Chains A and B, each alone.
Chain A
Amino acid sequence: MRVLTPTNVEEAVAMLAVEEDLIPMAGGTDLLVHWPEHLEARERGYLDLSGVESLRGMEWSDAFLTLGALTTYWEVVTDARVGREFRLMVEAARQVGAIQIQSRGTWAGNIANGSPAADGVPVLMAYGAEVELASAGGGARWVAMDSYYTDYKQSVKRPDELITRVRVPRAEYEIEVWEKVGSRRAQAISKVGLAITKGDEGWRVVAASMAPTIRRCAAIEKLLTKEAAINRPEDLLKAIGKDVSPIDDLRSTAAYRELTMARVVYHALKGRVSFVT
């Protein structure tokens, strides 16, 4: 194992430019899970981000809440202001693993890891967040979370790019929902994850563990925008069928995921909007 220890972003992206298969490391909670078995992973080079101070902390501006690439779940859980303005971020963070993981794991790591079952990503996507990707020579671009993933564990991020910041636009929401369906109440990977918001820009419905990537559900959003009458969970199944493609795996079944998603969406909105009864 070889570890590089940059102290600022320029240095970090310069290192990535030279050696594109370096593995950035933030909290390490994803990277180290299979450490004992993945012998080949030990021969790789690691880019330890922990010394890059500018990647830490949160910042508020008029328009955005901005997280650094090293911001952890625990920082969000313990921040009252985030709790007031972005309730779902706190709710989701509290349900990541358990306290040990919440205090090491980062939002950026969750995004970069690209798991379709991630719990941080759906709420960010439902709040219309954007990710900053930086590269050598001062290059940086902002990418909307909902166009970040391209396929299972694939994204628009190039190997020479580093996630440096995540910004969440400040806005008012009438409806904010986060539901994690796991196989137990803590230390569980989502079988179904759902984040729903409705604000000035309309509905955002985000599903996790339902497709190769976490994604917006356009058909459900359309139903909700049209205010189509929804009288029972099954009324959502057609739209769900268009939006996502769940699978049978070690954790659950496609049939379970589909029906559960329908029921969770239904009950989350029932009585809160006039057309869901």
Chain B
Amino acid sequence: MKRLEGNAKLLGREQYVDDLQVEGCLWGMTVRSPVARGRIKEIRFSPEIDWSEFVIVDHRDIPGANEVFLIEKDQPVLCAGEVRHVHEAVVLLAHPSREMARKGVRGVEVVVEELPAALDFRVEAEPARVQWGEDNSLSRLSINKGDVEAALASAAHVVEGVYESGAQEHVYLENQGMISWVDDDGVVVVQGSMQCPYYVLNALTHALGRDEAGCRVVQAPTGGGFGGKEDYPSNIACHAALLAMKAQKPVKIVYDRGEDMASTTKRHPSRVRHRTGVDESGRLVAQDIEVTLDGGAYVTLSPVVLSRGIIHAAGPYSCDNVRINGRAVLTNSVPYGAFRGFGAPQTLFALERHMDVVAKRIGMTPEEFRRINLIRDGQSTSTGQVIDDGTDRVGVMERGLELAAYERKREEHASFNATHDYLRRGIGFASFYHGAGFTGAGEVYLASKCHVAGLADGTIEVLTANTEMGQGATTVFLKIAAEAAGVDVSQVVIATPDTHRVPNSGPTVASRTSMVVGKLIEKAIDDLRAQIGAAADAKGAALTDAIRAWCSSNGAERVVGRSEYEKPPEVVWDEKTYTGHAYGTFAWATYVAEVEVDLRTDDVRVIDFVAVQEIGKVLNETLARGQIQGGVVQGIGWALMEECKWRDGAMANNQMTNYIIPTADDVCPIRVEFMENPYAHGAQGAKGIGELPIDGPAPAILNAVADALDVEPTAIPLTPEHLMELAREAHV
């Protein structure tokens, strides 16, 4: 089945925020903090500009709380008194001309008395730089299983390692953008690019001091998110709404690329320290892991990113003694936020690189070492979650190695490397897993709701708050609904996410949409059958006829079937001890990368890539493959190219020219294979796959580089400049 909105996108007809023409619309722009930390002394408006033409908003114009509603309410909508990072929003301007608005921004000077900033999360903050708690820790979490110290003391080998990863920019195709206006009924409407309409709604009601009826959030076609439109849209939506309310006119804010890169969230930089105990036979006996994430200037989502990070930190291996201590630290940079994988890519990078380091140290091959330790049914993860799904995890790994011709490649590389003047080849892999849906009791707290309406003409309308952002969610929903109802896809429509129309089915994040919300669609269709007195297995014409009949005999335009998330009984999670079912289910994978390193330039090229994964059930082959391939490309970028360069707390390379993402020419064919082992609580048996593919590429690629060269890379991005330094250190 083709992508529902594919043609509109291919032909350039899709109307994104920037394309939407709104009568009498003003352009909103943002005046930002020039420094990383300080007290605002004064805001100077240049006398050369006629400010009467502008609408000007600052924190005093906020009718509700000056807080961006999220886990903690520490981030202001607009700075009042204090700034915590460069490019933090201070004043908003709107003007009928985009160019004048731009000039206006340059005509406002935010005068700040600088305070000592915390710019490196890896160093303990001295007292003058502490801005949160006692030591800038935004969150601390830990997992404890067995007795790590005792196990380390008696282990045959103890191997240590420290691994680091940098910030990553989302580079969604479409920059952040919102339009806001006040409608004839006085409702504040916001329409824009977003993943989570109800998050935006919560932020609006909180900052504007209104109830849900007084605010309405509508998703516009969204050109990519990757997590970057999970939390940040709340900020820009509040900004647009404040301007529109003050102007009493529609206001559009669309960031340009430079502003977007400089001022919005990114992937959390990380440092992970491993101390691993192994017995004589190569069995893991202890994993002692310390995870530190750079949280940036405000709490935002860091506690939950840290949570997912530590839960994935010990990997898909069985080990009786595990201690994981996690900490997210405040620094004066943009708040790090949601990004595909949500903490897991960082900890899995460290783990899977470390597994190769350990294997080498104890004289085993990477595959032997993993074969021994991969979780078998009946064994448990670090949180004590017993895995019993029947998936052959060793089989997933073997299949990956087989497809990649791992053994043969190793032999070929040995002779290639012995003879080539300046090219070296290597092969490496990573075995990993990704938990789908919200962590622990998260889905219970969300209590997602879904509606499926039968319309008088027999059409079926699916109403959820989940968003299409390029990943194909609406196409998959259409298929799930059509197959559950036994009708043609032409008889199903997917409602635009609009908080005045759709129920809160939760955010479009955490690889939960197809699996969790897809299942809710199936259940809502069951409820619809019950509502109209149709048989529990009524499908096709039997169902649509029954809908039509019910509507006509009740004089109704529609009849609504409803569903709400119900926790699978086996999912038991203890938030206090961090034990139990961290996730309803995991997808399992092995990714194999073959690389070629050019010793002239220290450039690493991925020349073959195999991605094998067990994902429950493939709902749409093309879209699923697209998710995997896209994630792998993003992973290649994170591993080898994408580097945020910081200058006094600000991103200095906030341009597409200097923030290097892979082009089509930098990517080899990515060979994808799926295995299916249906999950009872996912739509048609599906598990989540959106985030899985970003977890594997970085460790697989670095393992391949280690195989190709005589170096042990431990940090990403492994740019040619970094590899050159590493090789020099290794060989002096």
- On A, residues with C-beta under 8 Å from B are 36-37, 39, 42, 98, 181, 183-189, 192, 250-253, 255-256, 259-260, 263-264, 267, 270
Residues of chain B contacted by A264 (CB below 8 angstroms): 600-601
B103 adjacent to chain A (CB < 8 Å): yes
> CB distance A185 to B721 under 8 Å?
no
> CB distance A39 to B658 under 8 Å?
no
> CB distance A184 to B662 under 8 Å?
yes
A183: contacting residue among B599, B652, B660, B664, CB under 8 A: B660
B102 adjacent to chain A (CB < 8 Å): yes
B54 to chain A, nearest CB (A): 16
B256 adjacent to chain A (CB < 8 Å): yes
A187 to chain B, nearest CB (A): 6
A233 nearest in chain B by CB position = B600
B422 adjacent to chain A (CB < 8 Å): yes
> CB distance A250 to B658 under 8 Å?
yes
Residues of chain B contacted by A253 (CB below 8 angstroms): 721
B73 to chain A, nearest CB (A): 34
> CB distance A270 to B666 under 8 Å?
no
B661 nearest in chain A by CB position = A184
- Given the known inter-chain contacts A39-B102, A185-B666, A186-B665, please indicate yes or no for A250 contacting B422, CB distance below 8 A: no
B589 to chain A, nearest CB (A): 26
- Given the known inter-chain contacts A250-B658, A255-B724, A263-B599, please indicate yes or no for A184 contacting B421, CB distance below 8 A: no
> CB distance B601 to A181 under 8 Å?
yes
A254 to chain B, nearest CB (A): 10
**What does the 1/0 interface line of B682-723 toward A look like (CB < 8 Å)?**
000000000000000000000000000000000000011100
> CB distance A263 to B600 under 8 Å?
yes
> CB distance A186 to B721 under 8 Å?
no
- Interface majority SS (helix, strand, loop, mixed), chain B: loop
Q: What separation, in Å, do the CA atoms of A184 and B602 have in the docked complex?
A: 12
> CB distance A250 to B102 under 8 Å?
no
B663: contacting residue among A98, A181, A260, CB under 8 A: A98
Q: What separation, in Å, do the CA atoms of A250 and B599 have in the docked complex?
A: 22
Q: What separation, in Å, do the CA atoms of A219 and B563 have in the docked complex?
A: 78
**What does the 1/0 interface line of B584-619 toward A look like (CB < 8 Å)?**
000000000000000111110000000000000000
Q: What separation, in Å, do the CA atoms of A36 and B660 have in the docked complex?
A: 21
Q: Which residues of chain B (633-660) have a CB below 8 Å from chain A?
A: 641, 645, 652-653, 657-658, 660
A185: contacting residue among B99, B103, B663, CB under 8 A: B663
B378 adjacent to chain A (CB < 8 Å): no
> CB distance A186 to B663 under 8 Å?
yes
B656 to chain A, nearest CB (A): 8
Kindly list 17 other residue pairs between chains A and B, CB separation below 8 angstroms, not including A36-B256, A39-B102. A181-B601, A183-B641, A184-B660, A184-B662, A185-B663, A186-B666, A187-B663, A188-B660, A192-B601, A250-B652, A252-B721, A256-B602, A260-B600, A260-B720, A263-B601, A267-B422, A270-B421
**What does the 1/0 interface line of B170-199 toward A look like (CB < 8 Å)?**
000000000000000000000000000000
B395 adjacent to chain A (CB < 8 Å): no
A29 to chain B, nearest CB (A): 12
- On B, residues with C-beta under 8 Å from A are 99, 102-103, 106, 256, 258, 421-422, 599-603, 641, 645, 652-653, 657-658, 660, 662-666, 719-721, 724-725
Q: What separation, in Å, do the CA atoms of A253 and B99 have in the docked complex?
A: 37
> CB distance A256 to B720 under 8 Å?
yes
Q: What separation, in Å, do the CA atoms of A251 and B652 have in the docked complex?
A: 11
| Chain A to chain B contacts (Cβ below 8 Å), 11 pairs | A42-B99, A183-B719, A185-B666, A186-B663, A186-B664, A186-B665, A253-B721, A256-B602, A263-B599, A263-B600, A267-B600
Residues of chain B contacted by A187 (CB below 8 angstroms): 663
B422 to chain A, nearest CB (A): 6
Q: What separation, in Å, do the CA atoms of A181 and B258 have in the docked complex?
A: 25
- Given the known inter-chain contacts A263-B599, A263-B600, A270-B421, please indicate yes or no for A184 contacting B666, CB distance below 8 A: yes
Q: What separation, in Å, do the CA atoms of A189 and B655 have in the docked complex?
A: 13
> CB distance B657 to A189 under 8 Å?
yes
Residues of chain B contacted by A188 (CB below 8 angstroms): 660
> CB distance A39 to B601 under 8 Å?
no
A261 to chain B, nearest CB (A): 10
> CB distance B720 to A251 under 8 Å?
no
Q: What separation, in Å, do the CA atoms of A135 and B171 have in the docked complex?
A: 46
Most buried by A among B258, B599, B660: B660
B654 nearest in chain A by CB position = A250
A257 nearest in chain B by CB position = B721
A33 nearest in chain B by CB position = B657
> CB distance A39 to B600 under 8 Å?
no
Q: What separation, in Å, do the CA atoms of A188 and B662 have in the docked complex?
A: 10
- Given the known inter-chain contacts A256-B724, A259-B724, please indicate yes or no for A37 contacting B258, CB distance below 8 A: yes
Q: What separation, in Å, do the CA atoms of A61 and B721 have in the docked complex?
A: 45
Residues of chain B contacted by A42 (CB below 8 angstroms): 99
Q: What separation, in Å, do the CA atoms of A42 and B97 have in the docked complex?
A: 15
Q: What separation, in Å, do the CA atoms of A250 and B658 have in the docked complex?
A: 7
Q: What separation, in Å, do the CA atoms of A264 and B598 have in the docked complex?
A: 10
Q: What separation, in Å, do the CA atoms of A188 and B99 have in the docked complex?
A: 30
Q: What separation, in Å, do the CA atoms of A191 and B601 have in the docked complex?
A: 10
Residues of chain A contacted by B103 (CB below 8 angstroms): 39
- Given the known inter-chain contacts A98-B663, A264-B601, please indicate yes or no for A184 contacting B657, CB distance below 8 A: no
Residues of chain B contacted by A181 (CB below 8 angstroms): 601, 603
Q: What separation, in Å, do the CA atoms of A184 and B662 have in the docked complex?
A: 7
B421 nearest in chain A by CB position = A267
A270 nearest in chain B by CB position = B421
Residues of chain A contacted by B600 (CB below 8 angstroms): 260, 263-264, 267
- Given the known inter-chain contacts A184-B660, A185-B663, A253-B721, please indicate yes or no for A260 contacting B601, CB distance below 8 A: yes
A271 nearest in chain B by CB position = B421
> CB distance A184 to B721 under 8 Å?
no
Most buried by B among A39, A183, A188, A263: A183
Residues of chain B contacted by A256 (CB below 8 angstroms): 602, 720-721, 724
Residues of chain A contacted by B658 (CB below 8 angstroms): 250-251
Q: What separation, in Å, do the CA atoms of A47 and B421 have in the docked complex?
A: 50
Q: What separation, in Å, do the CA atoms of A260 and B601 have in the docked complex?
A: 6
A249 nearest in chain B by CB position = B658
Q: What separation, in Å, do the CA atoms of A263 and B720 have in the docked complex?
A: 14
> CB distance B601 to A250 under 8 Å?
no
Q: What separation, in Å, do the CA atoms of A32 and B430 have in the docked complex?
A: 44
Residues of chain A contacted by B719 (CB below 8 angstroms): 183
Q: What separation, in Å, do the CA atoms of A189 and B660 have in the docked complex?
A: 10
Residues of chain B contacted by A37 (CB below 8 angstroms): 256, 258
Residues of chain A contacted by B602 (CB below 8 angstroms): 256, 260
A176 to chain B, nearest CB (A): 18
B614 to chain A, nearest CB (A): 33
Residues of chain A contacted by B653 (CB below 8 angstroms): 250
A105 to chain B, nearest CB (A): 15
B90 to chain A, nearest CB (A): 20
Q: What separation, in Å, do the CA atoms of A42 and B666 have in the docked complex?
A: 36
A190 to chain B, nearest CB (A): 12
Q: What separation, in Å, do the CA atoms of A259 and B664 have in the docked complex?
A: 28
* 4 closest Cβ pairs, A-B complex: A185-B665, A263-B600, A186-B665, A186-B663
B728 to chain A, nearest CB (A): 9
B18 to chain A, nearest CB (A): 12
Q: What separation, in Å, do the CA atoms of A192 and B721 have in the docked complex?
A: 12
Most buried by B among A186, A188, A260: A260
